[in-house]
Amino acid sequence: ETGVTQTPRHLVMGMTNKKSLKCEQHLGHNAMYWYKQSAKKPLELMFVYNFKEQTENNSVPSRFSPECPNSSHLFLHLHTLQPEDSALYLCASSQEGTTQYFGPGTRLTVL
């Protein structure tokens, strides 16, 4: 596998479920990001991890819980989501700042 991978690619969950999204980067980068992409809206930055430490939490509701066990892996734990949380969730990584490389995303549908 090369680049940034994400699993699962598609996820359908009920409002009471708990699920997790996984991201793995194979680029040797030290920063990882979670974004939310909704139709016709700009990408919204959710969380940033730099050397496994969270450096940004962009006022994200607590029903989204990130985890970064090492610089190659990033998780997004989901619980009691709302239908408006349905979106494409993108993971990205970078080495020292601005050039970010994205994974293919997880298409999340909350029923």
Question: For binding to other proteins (CB under 8 A), which residues are involved?
Answer: 4, 6, 31, 33, 40-43, 45, 48, 50, 56, 90, 92, 94, 97-105, 107
Give the nearer residue to other proteins in terms of CB position, either 72 or 100. Answer: 100
Residue 16 C-beta: closest distance to other proteins, Å = 28
Residue 15 C-beta: closest distance to other proteins, Å = 25
Give the nearer residue to other proteins in terms of CB position, either 13 or 43. Answer: 43
22 in Cβ contact with 4 (< 8 Å):
no
Give the nearer residue to other proteins in terms of CB position, either 56 or 67. Answer: 56
Dihedrals phi, psi of 58, to nearest 5 degrees: -85, 60
Residue 79 C-beta: closest distance to other proteins, Å = 24
Cα distance between residue 45 and residue 79, in whole Å = 19
87 in Cβ contact with 38 (< 8 Å):
yes
- Cβ-count burial of 14 within 10 angstroms (0-12 exposed, 13-18 middle, 19+ buried)? exposed
